[in-house]
């Protein structure tokens, strides 16, 4: 079967031409996503005279949490819509257009349209993000060994895009005007949409059609989609008209409960009614462990855009050579360090693997949690310095982001491939959804944590961060212990010969 594998398409760094299209689309999407997100809590907490919304820090953190949770929650229906209705290629295009509109709406300097902008960006990202990630895999025929390095290149586009966003939108937003920053995100995403439209043909058949089996009826799914959209539209319109409103902190809590119920029900279903073999159930047990680790890790990591971002703006000395840099510039540390360290990590795991020392996935997750805990320890020192002197040096946040990035590199790439490797084949798409659901739950939880971290100014931070450190270490130890009792076996592809 090997001769069937077409490796002649080596247009881009030895990879198919379609990867350029996906690379650039994801780069611009992440540029706009992180550029805007970096400004979000800063803009919401500034006074009206500074062009902001004058919200309290806990309220702003809660809105940020709800926004992050919605973005990744919507990736689940986003994947479903591509599978059942439009196919991934078209769904990515629709998502990209909706995101662009969302950013332009945010560029309008009015509080009334602010939430509409956020809603559009979340819906668009839910349609784009999961599907662009699956098209990457479909560029390669089964068995093509380039797929892993294809994903690594794609991961680079994510980080190059976010660096660009933090720099461009951050500078314009903080130095020129908030809405200029949001507008720049819109312009970036416009480049992304245009290049996607013009180069989409290079994707060929990858993600072109929905994934329906013969006995599935697309029309039934279309009407389900229409009803669901109508109900959601009604809820949103009545809220925009001011017919009902809900306190952001309460909504943040409800969101967390909702996602928790969805995730728990899904795992219970898998263990009881899904008809899985014992071997498959063992794999799901391992994925459940990873789910726990992932939620706690990303909940800590997400403080970067919220509580730590506000700490950077108001309590960190941002002067370099007499110039006060935008707080968002510090956010560049994470993607920059990912680009620098990712190749070393990949080589390190391979070297360990050759000696049969490669840690199991839950062990890598545990390491990720411990590194995240060290990062929080660094920021506690920073907060204490700021409480004494009014401002802390940038080194505290930089050390924090260094450890958070090292943790990310232990956890994020292996999490995705473990989901692919250990999910029963017929549940693979949905298990990818569960991976995004863990990010969603994490973002909601991060909102709750960040709100509490500013309850009574930064003096609330040290105690709360100590609790996070304890929770991270507890989950890390739990993963290490539980790993001894859970024996997962990689699922073999139906067409895999060896």
Binding residues for ligand PHE, rule: CB under 6 A, are 30, 158, 412, 439
What is the rounded distance in angstroms from the CA atom of residue 410 to the CA atom of residue 363? 9
Nearer to ligand PHE, 45 or 328 (CB): 328
Burial class of 440 by CB neighbour count within 10 A (0 to 12, 13 to 18, 19+)? buried
Q: Which structure tokens are listed for 458?
A: 């930064």
In this structure, the dihedral spanned by the alpha carbons of residues 28, 29, 32 and 35, taken in order and rounded to 10 degrees, is -90
Closest approach of ligand PHE to the CB of residue 304, in Å? 10
Nearer to ligand PHE, 414 or 479 (CB): 414
Nearer to ligand PHE, 412 or 423 (CB): 412
Nearer to ligand PHE, 283 or 439 (CB): 439
What is the rounded distance in angstroms from the CA atom of residue 169 to the CA atom of residue 35? 5
User: Cα–Cα distances in Å, from 57 out to 42, 70, 249, 306, 392?
Assistant: 9, 20, 11, 9, 19
Task: Tell which phi-psi region holds residue 142, choosing left (phi > 0), alpha (psi between -120 and 50) or beta.
Answer: beta
Cβ distance 270 to 417 under 8 Å? no
Closest approach of ligand PHE to the CB of residue 159, in Å? 7
Nearer to ligand PHE, 33 or 43 (CB): 33
Q: What angle do CA 118, 326, 166 make, to 5 degrees?
A: 50
Nearer to ligand PHE, 66 or 383 (CB): 66
Closest approach of ligand PHE to the CB of residue 208, in Å? 24
Closest approach of ligand PHE to the CB of residue 418, in Å? 13
Q: Which structure tokens are listed for 379?
A: 């920021």
Nearer to ligand PHE, 30 or 146 (CB): 30
Closest approach of ligand PHE to the CB of residue 38, in Å? 12
Closest approach of ligand PHE to the CB of residue 89, in Å? 20
Closest approach of ligand PHE to the CB of residue 439, in Å? 4
Task: Tell which phi-psi region holds residue 474, choosing left (phi > 0), alpha (psi between -120 and 50) or beta.
Answer: alpha
Closest approach of ligand PHE to the CB of residue 290, in Å? 12
Q: Burial letters for 160-190: b for 16+ Cβ neighbours within 10 Å, e otherwise?
A: bbbbbbbbbbbbbbbeeebbbbbbbbbbbbb
Cβ distance 42 to 170 under 8 Å? no
Nearer to ligand PHE, 361 or 439 (CB): 439
Closest approach of ligand PHE to the CB of residue 338, in Å? 7
Closest approach of ligand PHE to the CB of residue 398, in Å? 18
Nearer to ligand PHE, 153 or 158 (CB): 158
DSSP 51: T
Closest approach of ligand PHE to the CB of residue 158, in Å? 5
Q: Report which residue's Cβ sits closest to ligand PHE.
A: 439
Nearer to ligand PHE, 305 or 326 (CB): 305
Q: What is the DSSP string of 294-356?
A: HHHHHHHHGGGTTHHHHHHHHHB--EETTEE--GGGGGGHHHHHHHHHHHHHHHHHHHHHHTT
Closest approach of ligand PHE to the CB of residue 375, in Å? 16
Q: What angle do CA 160, 163, 165 make, to 5 degrees?
A: 110
- Report CA torsion sign: 211, 214, 215, 218: positive
Q: Are strands 319-320 and 323-324 parallel, antiparallel or unpaired?
A: antiparallel
Nearer to ligand PHE, 22 or 158 (CB): 158
- Report CA torsion sign: 317, 322, 324, 330: negative
Residues near 431 by beta carbon (within 8 Å), at least 6 away in sequence: 287, 419, 423
Nearer to ligand PHE, 212 or 262 (CB): 262
């Amino acid at each position: 079967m090997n001769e069937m594998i077409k490796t002649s398409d080596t247009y881009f760094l030895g990879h198919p031409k379609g990867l350029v299209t996906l690379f650039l689309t994801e780069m611009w999407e992440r540029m706009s996503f992180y550029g805007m997100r970096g400004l979000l809590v800063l803009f919401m907490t500034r006074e009206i005279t500074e062009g902001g919304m004058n919200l309290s820090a806990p309220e702003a953190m809660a809105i940020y949490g709800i926004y992050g949770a919605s973005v990744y929650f919507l990736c689940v229906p986003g994947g479903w819509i591509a599978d059942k209705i439009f196919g991934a290629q078209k769904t990515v295009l629709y998502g990209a257009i909706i995101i662009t509109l969302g950013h332009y709406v945010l560029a309008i300097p009015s509080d009334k349209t602010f939430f509409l902008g956020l809603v559009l960006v979340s819906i668009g990202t839910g349609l784009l993000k999961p599907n662009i990630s699956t098209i990457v895999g479909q560029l390669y025929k089964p068995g093509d060994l380039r797929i892993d390095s294809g994903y690594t290149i794609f991961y680079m586009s994510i980080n190059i895009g976010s660096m660009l966003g933090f720099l461009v939108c951050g500078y314009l937003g903080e130095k020129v005007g908030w809405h200029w920053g949001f507008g720049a995100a819109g312009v970036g995403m416009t480049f992304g949409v245009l290049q996607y439209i013009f180069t989409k043909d290079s994707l060929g058949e990858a993600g072109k059609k929905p994934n329906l089996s013969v006995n599935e009826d697309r029309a039934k799914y279309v009407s389900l989609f229409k009803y669901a959209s109508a109900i959601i539209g009604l809820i949103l319109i009545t809220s925009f008209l001011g017919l009902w409103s809900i306190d952001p902190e309460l909504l943040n809590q409800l969101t967390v409960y909702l996602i928790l119920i969805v995730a728990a029900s899904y795992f219970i279903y898998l263990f009881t009614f899904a008809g899985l073999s014992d071997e498959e159930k063992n794999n799901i047990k391992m994925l459940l462990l990873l789910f726990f680790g992932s939620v706690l890790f990303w909940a800590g990591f997400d403080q970067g855009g919220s509580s730590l971002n506000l700490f950077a703006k108001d309590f960190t000395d941002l002067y370099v050579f007499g110039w006060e840099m935008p707080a968002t510039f510090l956010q560049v540390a994470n993607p920059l360090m990912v680009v620098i360290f990712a190749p070393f990590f990949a080589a390190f795991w391979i070297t360990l693997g050759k000696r049969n020392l490669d840690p199991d996935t839950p062990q890598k997750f545990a390491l990720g949690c411990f590194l995240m805990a060290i990062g929080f320890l660094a920021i506690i020192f920073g907060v204490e310095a700021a409480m004494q002197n009014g401002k802390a040096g940038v080194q505290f946040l930089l050390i924090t982001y260094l450890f958070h990035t090292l943790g990310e590199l232990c956890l994020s790439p292996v999490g995705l491939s473990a989901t692919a490797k250990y999910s029963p084949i017929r549940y693979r798409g949905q298990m990818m959804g569960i991976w995004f659901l863990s990010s969603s739950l994490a973002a909601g939880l991060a909102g709750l944590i960040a709100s509490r971290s500013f309850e009574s100014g930064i003096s609330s931070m040290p105690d709360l961060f100590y609790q996070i450190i304890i929770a991270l270490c507890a989950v890390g130890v739990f993963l290490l212990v539980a790993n001894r009792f859970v024996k997962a076996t990689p699922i073999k592809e139906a067409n895999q010969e060896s």
